[in-house]
Structure 1
Amino acid sequence: MRLPRRSAFRSKRRVGQYVAAALVSLVFVFPFLVMLSTAFKPESEIFSSPPALLPGTWTLANFRDALAAIPFWRYLFNTVLIAGLSMVGTALVCPMVAYSLAKVRWRGARVIFMLILGTMVLPPQVTMIPLYLIWDGVGAVGTIVPLIAPSFLGVPFFIFLVRQFLVSVSDSLIEAGRIDGASEFRIYWEIVLPIARPAVVTAAVFQFMWAWTDFVNPLIYLNRPENRTLSIGLYSFFGENTVAWGPLMAASVLFTVPAVLVFLIGQRFFIGGISAGAIK
């Protein structure tokens, strides 16, 4: 009689876990649903009492007003360019640095790795002014260079993430390549990089998200209106005394869709990439 009781207990426990996961998911999804609903509501329904989740009258006027209020397509191009180049830089540079720290024996590798970890401890507010002075000294303020160059120089967190994944790769595969006379770069490109694809894609998608939603750095470095990103453009809907909530929510939906698509494309690599870094 104990086995049926245990089975019933496990079934109830599993149902409870699913219910808890659904409730937690609803908490995170609810703000997005409110944003999506408000984007299709006429102005008279946005602050109706009692509030309704679904619009009584569906309208696309908020989207037309949002596209007319700001140079949306120009801002979208700037955002895609910055986020795309940042993602490419992360996918190219971070795995190479991580491979050299994880699988290549050279003097000072451990010290360099500790320094990289140390930079992760520093809050961005500490380095904000020194970095601005550096970029201003080379005449890069006002361009997108300060926003994309750090990705091509290596992002510490993603170097750490990919390095932890590569530590689990068998050394015998690499040694076999060296015995066959393959160069270090060929071993990295043909053996290690395909194995590390989940971690690399995870790092690239995270970098895209960070660059896509970044507000502070574009606000600091992009001082010309034609170079602004969508995150700055959304602030245009906040007036001195009022907020255009309908167009703001419509623009926010358009701002969110590309990031969601990138996440959905790369989500199948997420579990392997994140769990590998967490286990180590």
Structure 2
Amino acid sequence: MINYRKVIAHGLIYLVLGIGAIAMAFPFIWMLSTSLKTLGAVSKLPPEIIPRPFNWDNYVTVWNKVSFGRYTLNSFLIVVVDLAGTLISCSLVAFGLAMFQFKLRNLIYLVMLGTLMLPSQVTMIPSYFIWKELGGLDTYYPLIVPSFLGGAFGIFLMHQFLKSLPKELYESAVIDGCRPPGIFWRIYLPLCRPALSALGVFTFMSAWNNTVGPLIYLQSKELYTLPLALLYLKSDTDINTALLMAGAMIVTLPVVIIYLIAQKQFVQGIASTGLKG
């Protein structure tokens, strides 16, 4: 017998979720639509969702005349180095905290977690003067070197996943004569793929969308990253809204693609580290 109450309840849930999905996707759809419009079609009333005709010249103009190609390469360089540094450093530190017993281990872990409560604005000015004394201004060093020093969030994410793995794996490997570096690289690191995927997505999004860091440390225009280039593109009075939306699409698209590719591993990594809520 059909349970009509259950069917109606499920129908209402899917209806609310569908409306929410459309509401969340609408800004992206509008941005895509505007990026394909001509200058006259942008201000047309009532506005059109589907441009007629599609104006792909906006992307060509932004990519070539505004040097978005160079800015894209700059952003990818920073993101790749950040990914490598973050994944290696955070997994190593988390492995040490999760597997080894030593004095003040819990205190070190708690102090590290305490840094998550510090707003980035608190350390922004001291960090600037430190890099100024080190001669790091107008270089990529302030943007990539910190990733090799470990981050509290990444260490916490990897630590939670490592703690969920059986301790017997480590003990069996030690009995078989494997040393800690070998245990880490051969046994635990392959098992950490879900957590590494989740951390990789978070790191990619953070590094790719970072605007404040490049804005503080970079002065040369040829060193600009995509978010910084988009910020200055917005301040250019000769740039119309369609070109601005085309630039925004170029900045947004890699994040969407990376998330879609790593979606399964991302969700699995979040669920297995206790960060779901």
Give the TM-score category using the shorter length: over 0.9
Matches for 1:1-280 after TM superposition, within 5 Å: 4=1, 7-239=3-235, 244-278=240-274
Is the contact made by 1:87 and 1:205 (CA closer than 8 Å) also made in structure 2? no
* Partners of 2:86 and 2:64 in 1: CA distance: 34
The structural deviation recorded for 1:240 is 6.4
Change (3 A) 1:48 1:112: same
Identity %: 37
- 1:151-206 per-position Cα deviation (integer Å, ceiling 9, x unaligned): 11101111111111111111111111111111011111122112211011110111
Is the contact made by 1:40 and 1:59 (CA closer than 8 Å) also made in structure 2? yes
Change (3 A) 1:139 1:279: closer
Is the contact made by 2:39 and 2:242 (CA closer than 8 Å) also made in structure 1? yes
Change (3 A) 1:206 1:176: same
Bigger shift: 187-196 or 110-119? 187-196
Amino acid at match of 1:275: A
Amino acid at match of 1:51: P
The structural deviation recorded for 1:207 is 0.4
Q: Number of matched residues?
A: 276
Bigger shift: 256-265 or 93-102? 256-265
The structural deviation recorded for 1:149 is 0.9
SS in 2 for 1:238: helix
Is the contact made by 1:198 and 1:269 (CA closer than 8 Å) also made in structure 2? yes
Is the contact made by 1:102 and 1:167 (CA closer than 8 Å) also made in structure 2? yes
SS in 2 for 1:161: helix
Amino acid at match of 1:167: K
The structural deviation recorded for 1:15 is 2.6
Give the RMSD, CA atoms, in angstroms. Answer: 1.7
SS in 1 for 2:274: helix
The structural deviation recorded for 1:275 is 1.3
Is the contact made by 1:218 and 1:228 (CA closer than 8 Å) also made in structure 2? yes
- 1:10-60 per-position Cα deviation (integer Å, ceiling 9, x unaligned): 333333222222221111111000010011111111121111111122111
Gaps of 5+ in 1: none
* Partners of 1:165 and 1:17 in 2: CA distance: 32
SS in 2 for 1:105: coil
